[in-house]
């Protein structure tokens, strides 16, 4: 799914239309990556991702956005329980290289 998400982001940027972006999936990815940032101590987060997340919050509404954000955070937490803290941190770096870095 993450590769699909990147394809959507890239195609959205290429055509210049935010309407093509799946905001629900984007907010879930943002939730997972941002939870990883804080849990793993990463100090770089892409400001463009934050800007897009704000735009998506407006598009889908606060209630839906919060639900998706929490789902993404819970996805990181579940991964951490399943594969361990260090592996979950590495997974975030691998899955979301355009969102977060060490």
Please state, in angstroms and rounded to a whole number, the distance separating the CA atoms of residues 66 and 53.
11
Please state, in angstroms and rounded to a whole number, the distance separating the CA atoms of residues 65 and 33.
15
b/e string for 18-30 if b means 16 or more Cβ within 10 A? eeebbbbbbbbbb
pTM of the prediction? 0.79
CA 23 → CA 12, 42, 85, distances in Å?
11, 24, 28
Matching residue, tokens 């991964």: 79
pLDDT tens by residue, 17-61: 545 689 999 999 999 999 999 999 999 999 999 999 999 999 999
Cβ count within 10 A of residue 55: 14
pLDDT of residue 54: 94
Beta-sheet pairing, 44-45 with 100-101 = antiparallel
pLDDT tens by residue, 55-67: 999 999 999 999 9
């Amino acid at each position: 799914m993450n590769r699909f998400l990147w394809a959507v982001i890239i195609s959205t940027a290429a055509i210049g239309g935010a309407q093509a972006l799946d905001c629900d999936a984007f907010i879930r990815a943002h939730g997972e990556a941002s939870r990883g940032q804080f849990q793993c101590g990463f100090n770089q987060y892409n400001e463009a991702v934050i800007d897009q997340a704000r735009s998506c919050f407006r598009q889908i509404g606060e209630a839906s956005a919060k639900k998706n954000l929490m789902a993404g955070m819970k996805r990181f937490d579940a991964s951490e329980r399943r594969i361990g803290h260090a592996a979950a941190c590495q997974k975030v770096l691998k899955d979301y290289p355009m969102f977060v870095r060490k």
